[in-house]
């Protein structure tokens, strides 16, 4: 059984890595039939890792021209709802990109979707933004549920909270994934030999260490917008537009590109083909692969049930055409 999906606002492929592994492990054949991202560096990285160059600006394609698919994935732009951004929501041009998702769902009618965004979307404008999103999806015939999940609870040493919005054209609710007790340690993530150019200046290092003492080693030190410094045996959320020294390993050096990708759950086989600054941006915008895999595991029982039913109907076992009709069609073709 094949599962066809599309990967919108695909970035460097967090959804795709998760989907391909999860679907394959469940005995289904994953088939990405369309991907899209407006960022040229993200498209370059995606091409290097999947052999497919994503379409560019999603607003420039007719939804009916997108291939048919079973499920839609979209980590739609989060800046309009982010606590770091301006918080304008649907008043921000990027916020309206959600309605491009709606138009695609309306045109192609997949059986389901998984959307991802920042935690703040849940409380944005006292919950009215999320309410609008769910209402629009309900109008298309989808049963919708959402939940905020933290990458720390699903095997990664990064505190990264994201809301997932899941919908299916059925009345079957998914059971959201249970938290995982164990996770990778920072020592599993950090590289041993790091070039000197990743180290902060002596001024920055001494300033941080005068302001803070840590109980953890190794640790990642975090300086917030107010200048307060804290440290944990895990990372605070990677951010695409953060200051150069926002996160420092042991208060001394910046994370390497490979370390940032590991914090997001990307495999060691991921090919880095863009400059460090672009990797930092890409990792900061990415969805944690482990989180998506956990959500998809929860979706699989419903997804397989719907697809199995559709397959039976297409072969006339329970649908409009029975066995006699199919035999009749075959005889007509032979004659």
Tell me, what's the pLDDT at 82?
A: 47
If you search the block for the tokens 């059986």, which residue do you land on? Answer: 111
If you search the block for the tokens 């997804």, which residue do you land on? Answer: 303
| Residue 176, pLDDT above cutoff 70 | yes
Tell me, what's the pLDDT at 95?
A: 52
* pTM exceeds cut of 0.95: no
| Residue 6, pLDDT above cutoff 70 | yes
| Residue 251, pLDDT above cutoff 70 | yes
Tell me, what's the pLDDT at 327?
A: 37
Evaluate whether residue 271 is within a structural domain: no
Same domain membership, residue 165 and residue 41: yes
3-state secondary structure of 207: helix
- Nearest CA to 188 out of 224, 222, 158 is that of 158
Same domain membership, residue 114 and residue 62: yes
Evaluate whether residue 279 is within a structural domain: no
| Residue 261, pLDDT above cutoff 80 | yes
Tell me, what's the pLDDT at 315?
A: 55
138-142, 311-315, 327-331: range with highest mean pLDDT:
138-142
- Determine the Cα–Cα distance for residues 287 and 16; give it in Å rounded to an integer: 10
The more confidently predicted of residues 172 and 293 is 293
Q: What would the pLDDT profile of 23-43 be if each residue is shown by its tens digit?
A: 999 999 999 999 999 999 999
Evaluate whether residue 10 is within a structural domain: yes
Evaluate whether residue 28 is within a structural domain: yes
Cα 330 to Cα 286, 311, 313, 317, distances in angstroms: 49, 18, 17, 16
Q: Are 84 and 24 in contact (CB under 8 A)?
A: no
Same domain membership, residue 204 and residue 65: no
E strand or H helix at 150, and its extent? Answer: strand 143-150
Tell me, what's the pLDDT at 329?
A: 33
Tell me, what's the pLDDT at 228?
A: 92
- Nearest CA to 116 out of 213, 209, 7, 36 is that of 7
Would you place residue 88 in the very low, low, confident or very high pLDDT band (cuts 50, 70, 90)? low
Tell me, what's the pLDDT at 79?
A: 52
Q: What would the pLDDT profile of 126-172 be if each residue is shown by its tens digit?
A: 888 899 899 999 999 999 999 999 999 999 999 999 999 999 998 88
Same domain membership, residue 92 and residue 228: no
- Determine the Cα–Cα distance for residues 145 and 275; give it in Å rounded to an integer: 38
Tell me, what's the pLDDT at 91?
A: 55
Q: What percent of the chain has pLDDT over 90?
A: 77
DSSP for 83-126, written as a single string: SSS---GGGSGGGGGHHHHHHHHHHH--SEEEEEEEGGGGTGGG
Evaluate whether residue 293 is within a structural domain: yes
Question: Mean of the pLDDT values across residues 212-227?
Answer: 93
Q: What's the whole-number average pLDDT of the chain?
A: 89
Tell me, what's the pLDDT at 34?
A: 98
- Determine the Cα–Cα distance for residues 133 and 113; give it in Å rounded to an integer: 13
Tell me, what's the pLDDT at 124?
A: 83
- Determine the Cα–Cα distance for residues 139 and 133; give it in Å rounded to an integer: 10
- Determine the Cα–Cα distance for residues 284 and 253; give it in Å rounded to an integer: 17
| Residue 324, pLDDT above cutoff 50 | no
- Determine the Cα–Cα distance for residues 25 and 30; give it in Å rounded to an integer: 10
Listed range (95-104, 225-234, 286-295) with the worst mean pLDDT: 95-104
- Record the tokens describing residue 273, joined without a space: 């083909």
| Residue 85, pLDDT above cutoff 70 | no
Same domain membership, residue 299 and residue 238: no
Listed range (15-19, 137-141, 302-306, 308-312) with the worst mean pLDDT: 308-312
Give residue 69's domain range: 2-182+285-314
Provide the number of structural domains found in the chain: 2
Same domain membership, residue 105 and residue 233: no
Tell me, what's the pLDDT at 334?
A: 39
Beta bridge partners of 150: 161
Same domain membership, residue 208 and residue 176: no
- Nearest CA to 278 out of 264, 253, 261, 291 is that of 261
Residues known to be catalytic: 78
Question: Mean of the pLDDT values across residues 63-77?
Answer: 95
Q: Are 87 and 81 in contact (CB under 8 A)?
A: yes
DSSP for 8-59, written as a single string: ET-TTTHHHHHHHHHHHHTT-EEEEEEEE-S-HHHHHHHHHHHS---BS-GG
- Determine the Cα–Cα distance for residues 4 and 73; give it in Å rounded to an integer: 11
Evaluate whether residue 119 is within a structural domain: yes
Q: Are 54 and 36 in contact (CB under 8 A)?
A: yes
């Amino acid at each position: 059984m094949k599962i066809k999906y599309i990967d919108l606002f695909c970035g460097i492929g967090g959804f795709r890595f998760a989907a391909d592994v999860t679907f394959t492990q469940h005995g289904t054949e994953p088939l990405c039939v369309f991907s899209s991202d407006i960022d040229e560096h993200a498209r370059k990285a995606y091409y290097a890792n999947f052999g497919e160059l994503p379409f560019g600006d999603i607003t420039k394609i007719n939804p009916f021209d997108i291939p048919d698919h079973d499920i839609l994935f979209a980590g739609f732009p989060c800046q309009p709802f982010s606590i770091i951004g301006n918080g304008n929501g649907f008043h921000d041009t990027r916020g309206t990109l959600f309605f491009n998702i709606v138009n695609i769902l309306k045109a192609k009618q997949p059986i389901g979707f998984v959307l991802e965004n920042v935690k703040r979307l849940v409380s944005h404008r006292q919950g009215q933004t999320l309410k609008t999103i769910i209402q629009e999806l309900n109008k298309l015939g989808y049963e919708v549920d959402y939940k905020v999940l933290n990458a720390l609870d699903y095997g990664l040493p990064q505190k990264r909270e994201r809301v997932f919005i899941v919908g299916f054209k059925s009345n079957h609710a998914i059971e959201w994934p249970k938290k995982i007790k164990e996770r990778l340690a920072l020592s599993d993530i950090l590289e041993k030999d790091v070039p000197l150019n990743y180290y902060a200046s002596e001024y920055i290092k001494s300033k941080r260490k005068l302001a803070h003492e840590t109980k953890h080693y190794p640790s990642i030190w975090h300086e917030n917008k107010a200048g307060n410094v804290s440290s944990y045996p895990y990372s605070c959320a990677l951010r695409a537009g953060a200051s150069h020294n926002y996160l420092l390993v042991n208060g001394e050096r910046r994370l390497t590109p490979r370390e940032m990708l590991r914090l997001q759950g990307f495999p060691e086989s991921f090919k880095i083909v863009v400059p460090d600054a672009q990797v930092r941006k890409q990792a900061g915008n990415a969805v944690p692969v482990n989180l998506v895999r956990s959500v998809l595991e929860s979706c699989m029982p419903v997804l397989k049930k719907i697809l199995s039913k559709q397959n039976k109907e297409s072969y006339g076992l329970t649908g409009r055409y029975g066995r006699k009709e199919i035999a009749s069609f075959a005889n007509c073709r032979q004659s």
